Amino acid sequence: MSTGWSTPAVEALRAKAIGPVASFDPETTPGFDGDKAAGTDLLAQRGDVLADLQELLFANGRAGDHRSVLLVLQGMDTAGKGGIVRHVGGLLDPQGLSVKGFGKPTKEELQHDFLWRIHRALPPAGRIGIFDRSHYEDVLPVRVHNLVPQSEWEKRYDLINQFESELVAGGTTVLKCCLVVSKDEQKARLAQRLDRPDKYWKYNPGDVDERGHWDAYLEAYQAIFDLTDRDSAPWLVIPSNHKWYARLAVCELLIDALTRLDLDWPPADFDVEAEKKRLAAAD
Ligand code: AMP
Ligand code: MG
């Protein structure tokens, strides 16, 4: 079946293939030649494929398989992380999905090491977990504003790699997606939030201040890609000025990750023929 992609998303979007994020063009749709209408139609079709794969993962989890999938979403304010949760997560069966957003650490969280709250939110066996922000915040605002001394945040890249290696060794597929919007597009999206009462809840005056540190954030993202993009836990950089493209790309990346698990329906742990007979004979 044609996927509509000339280059698979997992190749076209891989951080190590895209060059410096500062010169990345968020208007582009790498690997996909169609327009918005084609992309939206395709998402509906591919969503069914994704849902079937998720059911396989869930069924295997119920049968004792310990594997799970973790999708990490990062991106500047307004990049569309919430939209991915809604529109790609929305293609999935909620019982096989766990979604966790990470905001500013609470007092309790600050008393522990930065991975403490992450450990507690990991998807159980058979589930797909989506993190809306993640442990990478601890080398993003934390680095940009030196919320902890540099000597501490610079150690975190190794700690993150170690943590993710353990996760992968334990059977979790780790997929990290960074949604990238242009500075102009962010301004337009923030302006829209101020124009629409149904979007006020998404607006945070602090977002305008963070926007003032745009280049420092790009640098912090570049460091993440340089130091933590590994084949076992890859970073995919997703141009997100076009929301339809970002959603289609994340759906495709999840399909790719689940397909690689090479799952089959778990065999019955009972005698099927005997059960058929028993049921036929039952009242
Ligand atoms: P939102 O995703 O819009 O709900 O915003 C959550 C806010 O929490 C963002 O401004 C994040 O940068 C901030 N945040 C999340 N994790 C951390 C962290 N570990 N340290 C500092 N700020 C954080
Ligand atoms: Mg926000």
Looking up tokens 């990290």 gives 176
Q: Which residues line ligand 1 (CB under 6 A)?
A: 102-105, 133, 137-138, 141-142, 147
44-66 pLDDT, tens digit per residue, is 999 999 999 999 999 999 999 99
Percent of residues, the chain, with pLDDT higher than 70: 99
Terminus-to-terminus CA distance in the chain, angstroms? 45
Instruction: Tell me what the mean pLDDT of segment 184-203 comes to.
Output: 97
Using N-to-C axis directions, what is the helix angle for 214-228 and 156-169, rounded to 10°?
A: 50
Average pLDDT, the chain: 97
Ligand 1 atom closest to the CA of 138, numbered from 1: 19
pLDDT of residue 74: 98
Q: Is the CB of residue 130 less than 8 Å from the CB of residue 82?
A: no
Q: Which ligand is nearest to the CA of 103?
A: 1
Residue 3 scores a pLDDT above 90: no
Closest ligand by atom to 110 CA: 1
Pocket-testing residue among 86, 104, 138, ligand 1, by greatest number of atoms within 8 A of Cβ: 104
Give the tens place of pLDDT for each residue, 84-116.
999 999 999 999 999 999 999 999 999 999 999
Is residue 69's pLDDT more than 80? yes
CA of 254 to the centre of ligand 1 (A): 25
Euclidean distance between CA atoms 140 and 149, whole angstroms? 13
Work out the pLDDT band at 80, boundaries 50, 70, 90.
Answer: very high
**Threshold 0.85, pTM exceeds:** yes
Nearest CA to ligand 1 atom 4: 103
Is the pLDDT assigned to residue 226 strictly greater than 90?
A: yes
- The strand order across the sheet containing 68-75 reads 97-101, 128-132, 68-75, 172-180, 235-239
The model's confidence at residue 218, banded by pLDDT at 50, 70 and 90, is very high
pLDDT of residue 93: 97
- Give the confidence band of 219 by pLDDT, cuts at 50, 70, 90: very high
Region 124-134 average pLDDT: 98
Pair type for strands 235-239 and 97-101: unpaired
Cα of 40 vs centre of ligand 2, distance in Å, is: 25
List the residue whose alpha carbon is closest to atom 23 of ligand 1.
104
- Residue 4's pLDDT is 86
Atom number in ligand 1 closest to CA 77: 3
Residue 192 CB neighbours (<10 A) = 13
**Average pLDDT of the segment spanning 138-165:** 98
Q: Considering only CA atoms, which residue is closest to atom 17 of ligand 1?
A: 104
**202: Cβ contacts below 8 Å, ≥ 6 apart:** 82, 193
Nearest CA to ligand 1 atom 2: 103
As a whole number of angstroms, the distance between CA 254 and CA 53 comes to: 9
